[in-house]
Amino acid sequence: MTAPEDNQHDCLAIKELENILDTCKLDLTPVDEVWSNLYIGNVAIAQNRTALQRLGITHVLNAAHSKQGSIGDQEFYGNSFVYYGIPAEDSSQFDLSLYFKPAADFIHKALKKKDCKVLVHCIMGMSRSATLVLAYLMLHHRLSLRSAIQKVVQKRAVYPNRNFLALLLDLDRNLKRKRRLCPLL
């Protein structure tokens, strides 16, 4: 059970993160490169295989797999792209943290290869996909949640829901605790 002061602290921390997200003055576009060879986009760009090939995308991570309006599976992409689908819901109840590590590992493995580019998308390219990209930056590039958000909002208008921000906050705390105990992590 969480103590009331922890809840209050979390609310303040989430509000602070939302303030950082609010500093973004960019318009929402179909797709943006937010890290070297890592893109966040919406479902329209994800379903346009020609546009993806023009961008040089080789891997597609769909954070809205099997959701209405989100066509996509390995069969849809054929041999042109490596596909990974996560059936996430953009809701206050969905535990997206279950997918932080598998999604981050998928992105990392792809980006380690020469000439590979990854598109992470959901429906709008603002909440689910952004959350998974932030988790990747935290897990594989040792960025704090705050730093990861600051990096991403320089390139794309994103806005993870409060539930996802709370899950990322937990990840941030756990990573800081582990790194204090073992600086090599």
CA dihedral 8, 129, 37, 80 (to 10 degrees): 160
Residues annotated as part of the active site: 122
Q: pLDDT tens-digit profile of 58-94? A: 999 999 997 766 777 788 898 999 999 999 999 999 9
Please say whether the beta carbons of 138 and 175 come within 8 A.
yes
pTM above 0.75, yes or no: yes
Share of the chain above pLDDT 90, in %: 82
Q: pLDDT tens-digit profile of 128-174? A: 999 999 999 999 999 999 999 999 999 999 999 999 999 999 999 99
Distance CA 104, CA 178 (A): 18
